Amino acid sequence: MTTAQGAGAPLHGSPVSAVTTASSVASGRVPVRLTHALEALYARVPLGMRLGLEAMRAACTRAENPERSFDAVHIAGTNGKGSTCAMVESIARAGGKKTGLYTSPHLCRFAERIRIDGEPITDDTLADVLERALEIGPDLSFFETATLAAFLAFREHAVDLAIIEVGIGGRLDATNVLPAERLKVAAITRVALDHVDRLGDTLEAIAREKAGIAKGGRPLVLGPMSPEVRAAALEVVLAAGALPIVMGEDPDAVTRDALDVGLRGTYQHDNARIAWRIGRELGLPESARREGLARTRWPGRFEHITVEGGPFEGAWILDGAHNPDGARSLVGSLADDEARTAGHSAPGALIFGALADKAWREMLDELAVLSCPRIYVAPRGRAAADPALLAAHAPGHVATSLSEALVHARSLVASSSPVVICGSLYLVGEARAQLMGLPEDPPVAL
């Protein structure tokens, strides 16, 4: 659990720096170079997260192929891929590897997306790699540019192993330019309905897209999935000549209860088993795998924080839970917490907000078992679901701002009773910043 001293106190141990705004620049807290680089990067947001590899491959060629300068782990999945990436990175670091980690989106600062040995890259390094990526790839989208910047940073820092999270799908995601000869292992965590306009409207279709990261002769770990979905993924994996490792059929797999996992939430145990097997494929000793899993930290995923003092004083639980599968997993984790504490950790209130293109009705249906007041608010990032529509589907209070939602939720329950914030990682990131006094860069739903 993380404790913050009221709003305005930074998270102890979190490497954060000043928010990139005009006022921050004026105060001298942010390099002007970084501000300009981020402004140029954000100008590419309208291009979206386009699918296709041609532009990315061409940019990598012009950059002298930074993606070929490090060994890589490549992880796809509807839910759990970010947490699994964080676990694998922690395991690799415990095993003595110099690591790079590339994930998306960021919660508070853009630099969170690109990490070296567990720490976000510095403002100067971020400005440098973004400037170079912007120049090398003038036709790249926001996500493609960010991906190229990450590859440049990993080459510059001579990382031994980069753990790369897929953005959307897998087959046509910008990260899938990783070459087979440097790929050590790939994985698919979970498959659920999300981005159906891009990936297909069935679990089998989505599984095939995610399995597109398979490379010939390289192991690919398949997380828990139904037989039909697994068969669809295996079809692609085997056609690529990859070596599938099916969790649930692996005689060397470790059981869920045999691992000490630093991340809370029952759903993290499946992610930990995947990370454990990836670590084994990497040749890392059991001691490093155990240490890495126990030391993993990944904010915003069933994260418990306690704010001491100020208007937000009390217990909070932050969980992205941005689709029905995530909401279902959140409910299971809350029930597990409640059972272990004999009901003392039951949520006292729920703050929920979702993007308009997400299955928010189904998410609210999954959350219906939580018998507590609800407060609805619009997250930032891109078009949000109207909080009034959320309240019409499942009655609750409509807040005009997140600050109002936080204060209202806290007024409803005792400080010892947790308020749950979920429905969107962008909402969770904004809430985390307000609760803990952390600086922010603008959110981007890419």
Query: Is the distance from CB of 279 to CB of 185 less than 8 angstroms?
Result: no
Read off the pLDDT of each residue in 44-61 and give the average, rounded to a whole number. 91
What's the confidence (pLDDT) of residue 442? 76
Q: Are 262 and 293 in contact (CB under 8 A)?
A: yes
Q: What is the pLDDT of residue 30?
A: 55
Q: What is the mean pLDDT of residues 310-322?
A: 93
Residue-wise pLDDT for 152-187, tens only, equals 999 999 999 999 999 989 999 999 999 999 999 999
Of 248, 249, 246, 184, nearest to 213 (Cα)?
A: 184
- Where residue 251 falls among pLDDT bands split at 50, 70, 90? low
Is residue 20 scored above 50 in pLDDT? no
446: closest CA among 4, 72, 41, 22? 41
User: Whose structure tokens read 């059991």?
Assistant: 286
Q: What tens digit of pLDDT does each residue of 340-369 get?
A: 777 667 899 999 999 998 899 999 999 999
8: pLDDT strictly greater than 60: no
State the Cα–Cα distance between residues 36 and 48, nearest whole angstrom. 20
- pLDDT category, 4, cuts 50, 70, 90? low
Give kind and range of the element (H or E) at residue 314.
strand 314-319
Domains and CATH numbers, the chain: 2-20+300-436 (3.90.190.20), 32-295 (3.40.1190.10)
Give the whole-angstrom CA distance, residue 248 versus residue 22. Answer: 52
Q: In Å, how far from its chain's centre is CA 20? A: 21
pLDDT tens per residue, range 396-426: 999 999 999 999 999 999 988 999 999 999 9
**What was the pLDDT predicted at 21?**
36
Region 87-109: what's the mean pLDDT? 96
Average pLDDT, the chain: 89
Nearest to 327 by CA among 272, 368, 300, 366: 366
The pLDDT, as a whole number, for residue 24 is 38
- Tell whether the model's pLDDT for residue 430 goes beyond 50: yes
Q: Which residues pair with 188 in a beta bridge?
A: 76, 222
**How high is the pLDDT of residue 337?**
84
Residues contacting 444, CB < 8 A, separation 6+: 42, 45, 105, 106, 142, 381
Is the pTM here over 0.75, yes or no? yes
* pLDDT at 91 > cutoff 80: yes
If pLDDT is split at 50, 70 and 90, which confidence band does 23 have?
Answer: very low
With contact defined as beta carbons under 8 Å apart, do 89 and 115 qualify?
yes
